[in-house]
Amino acid sequence: MSYYEPLVYIVPPEEDGWTLKTVLRNKMHISRKLLSRLKLTEKGITVNGARRYVNVPVHAGDRIEVRMLQEQSEHIVPQPIPLCILHEDDHLLIVNKEAGAIVHPTHGHYINTIANAVVHYWRQKGENYRFRPVHRLDQETSGVLAIAKNPFAHQYISEQMQACRVLKEYVALVHGTVAQDEGTIDAPIGRDPLKPHLRIVTETGRTAVTHFVVEQRYKEATIVRLRPETGRTHQIRVHMKHLGHPLVGDKLYGPALPDTEAAGLIERHALHAARLAFTHPGSKRWVEFAAELPEDMRRLAASLNPV
């Protein structure tokens, strides 16, 4: 069996006598699900090089190591597709996703996805990882995408997302002139009963909160910077439509701008994941990753008339 590099923790004096399970859960942040998997692995959890039951006490100076089995995405076809890599380390791969790229193979889209490109990239380096995106970006949305290299990294960032401790910042170009300089849209989102593939603001929906700041106003449109506090499907698109300013080019939730689309300036909804920040699963430090505004959105903004 092959393992990833172990997660290592040295027990400090103040934790002398704690159970191994308590240290794993509270200090090493191993989830219950991952802990169950590790207990079935021969070298999954060791103390000073030896396997231990998780209910035994540990002592100051003990070296705890957690090893995860190497995995690979066996059903994803490797393809030599260019990637824009923003960062890579033992836990994460951060890429700048192009608009139009699908993140993960789905029914009818088994190739030409970010997953195919990433698996090929790893294979070329002689590395085996399972493709684990820690969040989703719509096909037409460009920008920062984080991919976990092991189950712990995926779990660690997912828990931060569930607790709303991950900063996600987007830039969008929306129809009309947004009057407020900044604001918060607090409006629950649920499925449209008439069109289940769409989402709408509805009292029966799930809590959804989006903060926004106006960056630039034009006569026809506005550039806004948005920070979704929650992570509902199509949240920014639905909230901006609810505000009366749907995204430019959004074929599902708003009209297109005929002049700009006819000129071929943009062929998708104008939404870009500009920044992503969270506590790193390895260093436990706050890290931030950013991607510049893509050419099609810059070109579109340049074609508009300032207020």
* Terminal alpha carbon distance of the chain: 63
Catalytic residue among 62, 138, 250, 296: 138
Task: Evaluate whether 80 touches 63 at the Cβ level (below 8 Å).
Answer: no
Task: Evaluate whether 260 touches 248 at the Cβ level (below 8 Å).
Answer: yes
Does residue 228 sit in helix, strand or coil?
strand
- What token pair was written down for 278? 């969270």
Amino acid at 102: I
Amino acid at 23: V
Going by C-beta distance under 8 Å and a sequence separation of 6 or more, which residues neighbour residue 243?
178, 185
- What token pair was written down for 83? 């990637």
Long-range contact list for 84-91, CB < 8 A, 24+ apart?
A: 84/291, 86/144, 86/289, 86/290, 86/291, 87/289, 89/282, 90/4, 90/5, 90/149, 90/282, 91/148, 91/149, 91/150, 91/152, 91/153, 91/280, 91/281, 91/282
* Annotation says 138 is catalytic: yes
Q: Is 264 left (phi over 0), alpha (psi -120 to 50) or beta?
A: left
- What token pair was written down for 54? 């998780």
Q: Nearest Cα to 95, choosing from 129, 127, 121?
A: 121
Catalytic residues: 138
